[in-house]
Amino acid sequence: MTGGGLLVAGTTSDAGKSVVTAGICRWLVRQGVKVAPFKAQNMSLNSFVTKEGAEIGRAQAMQAQACRIEPSALMNPVLLKPGGERSSQVVLLGKPVGEMSARGYHGGRQQRLLGTVVDCLAELRSTYDAVICEGAGSPAEINLRRTDIVNMGIARSARLPVLVVGDIDRGGVFASFFGTVALLSPEDQELVAGFLVNKFRGDVSLLEPGLDMLHGLTGRRTYGVLPFRHGLGIDEEDGLRVSLRGTVRESTVAPPVGEDVLRVAVCAIPLMSNFTDVDALAAEPGVVVRFVDRPEELADADLVVVPGTRGTVRALEWLRERGLADALARRAAEGRPVLGICGGFQILGEHIEDDVESRRGRVDGLGLLPVRVRFAPEKTLTRPVGKALGERVEGYEIHHGVATVTGGEPFLDGCRAGSVWGTHWHGSLESDGFRRAFLREVAAAAGRRFVPAADTSFAALREEQLDRLGDLIEQHADTDALWRLVESGAPPGLPFVPPGAPA
């Protein structure tokens, strides 16, 4: 028996598809429904490693958590990881299969993957009561419709009803809703069941006449109006958001436990990946996190983080061009803390041999850690567990660089030299005991009277946030009508809205 399904599309990128999908998933699982997320194709530098060693988008991992299930490669069969303006690494069923230009991908490769994504979705639907799918960008991207596998392409192939989300905070939501439907073919329009308004501020009664007119123009109803809530976008695909500080704690931010705050500066390097690593720092009372791109902005930082990147050599050159490399060297000489994660760890080493990513051969690193890096064709995808600073640590690794440590003190899989730390482990700061121990070391080196809170649980904060997403759906959407869509598909007889897709 095939389970129900729904595709959450959007009028634009960042309309709220990821969080609405997660909210519907959490609402359904609280009703006792066995539910899974799905995104046929994701373009993101924020990724995660499943227990089976497959790489998928972090948004789908977060949605799996909303469903209270383990993430798998079936939930995101195609992941594109940009490596520049015109090319991306293609990750298929969790494993990299090569680099491809946008023209080459949309010129034929993408459409050949449709069978694979349809099979993955069918396997999920055979296992779960419902599968909530997320689209990408807009379903009305008429230049890409012929090869589409993530919006109407998958909806048509799997006969999924489509809910279109619009961000009213941006303005123009009625035109966006109408135009999205009107630019689809009659066959695609048959599956577009209706709309969901996201990020509404004010009195809903003032919006209702417009919703009635939209229904009259399109024959499609609005399934809910979600109010604006600060920072519900956890595990963003592409945006620069450190959300947990002002969002999970929607109430007044807890004051610092100690007398001082701790200031963290994150170098906003090119092709930055998995910057969600610092969300766990931002969740701590008294820790202030900001992204920086000038050396002057490092001056008052107690900790500088050099995050992961899909372009290690390019990021290294950028740090030198901006004067940030010299600022990092001065910090190290003064005994002021620096943490490098994955690509950032590689940058802090002595040299890099790269015939894979940039194909630049040997490149000198910053020389702040006794580490030599060689890029291997195979990608390391693991979920390591270990100990550091006397505490248990869990993480995940996603990298081509193989590090040889020649000195310093052991630190996870990397090392520590004085006040400079480096590791390939993403997600390590989500381990509460380790994070607190690390912050105590940072505070001591920085001379700050900062004390980490004894009761901050990153996992609990994330669960609270997912529950808030579920609450939004439960309280502000027509959940009975949503379930009918999931169970029975789009209503029959939906009218055609001219002009339709161009020939």
Distance CA 378, CA 403 (A): 14
Distance CA 219, CA 428 (A): 50
pLDDT at residue 349 is higher than 90? yes
At 481 the three-state DSSP class reads: helix
Q: Which two tokens stand for residue 386?
A: 């270990």
* Whole-number pLDDT of residue 275: 85
Q: Which two tokens stand for residue 239?
A: 């945006």
Q: Which of 392, 352, 353, 388 is nearest to 369 (CA)?
A: 352
**Which is catalytic among the residues 67, 133, 342, 415?**
342
Distance CA 448, CA 433 (A): 20
Report the pLDDT averaged over residues 4-30. 95
pLDDT at residue 256 is higher than 70? yes
**Which distant-in-sequence residues (6+ apart) come within 8 Å of 104 by Cβ?**
none
* 405 alpha-carbon distance from chain centroid: 30
Q: Do 15 and 167 contact (CB within 8 A), yes or no?
A: yes
Mean per-residue pLDDT of the chain: 91
At 6 the three-state DSSP class reads: strand
Q: Which two tokens stand for residue 88?
A: 């991306």
* Whole-number pLDDT of residue 98: 84
Q: What is the pLDDT of residues 191-217, one digit of tens each?
A: 999 999 999 998 999 999 999 999 999
What is the DSSP code string of 369-380? SSEEEEEEEEEE
Q: Which of 342, 272, 354, 349 is nearest to 313 (CA)?
A: 354
**Which distant-in-sequence residues (6+ apart) come within 8 Å of 266 by Cβ?**
275, 278, 289, 290, 291, 292, 304, 305, 307
* Whole-number pLDDT of residue 14: 87
pLDDT band for position 109 (cuts 50, 70, 90): confident
Q: What is the pLDDT of residues 473-503, one digit of tens each?
A: 999 999 999 999 999 999 999 999 999 998 7
Q: Do 161 and 191 contact (CB within 8 A), yes or no?
A: yes
At 341 the three-state DSSP class reads: strand
Lowest mean pLDDT among 131-135, 167-171, 235-239, 412-416: 235-239
Q: Which of 430, 454, 428 is nearest to 440 (CA)?
A: 454
426 is catalytic: yes
**Which distant-in-sequence residues (6+ apart) come within 8 Å of 68 by Cβ?**
29
* 193 alpha-carbon distance from chain centroid: 27
Distance CA 427, CA 125 (A): 30
Torsion angles phi and psi, residue 360, rounded to 5: -100, 0
Q: Do 369 and 414 contact (CB within 8 A), yes or no?
A: yes
* Whole-number pLDDT of residue 101: 76
pLDDT at residue 28 is higher than 50? yes
Separation in Å, CA 244 to CA 69, 234, 250: 22, 8, 9
At 301 the three-state DSSP class reads: coil
Q: What percent of the chain has pLDDT over 70?
A: 93
Report the pLDDT averaged over residues 418-425. 96
Distance CA 462, CA 367 (A): 37
At 346 the three-state DSSP class reads: helix
User: Does the bond joining 295 to the residue before it have cis omega, within 30 degrees of 0?
Assistant: no
pLDDT at residue 289 is higher than 50? yes
Reported residue count of the chain is 503
* Whole-number pLDDT of residue 231: 62
Residue the block writes with tokens 């994701």? 42
Q: Do 218 and 177 contact (CB within 8 A), yes or no?
A: yes
Distance CA 302, CA 291 (A): 14
pTM greater than 0.75? yes
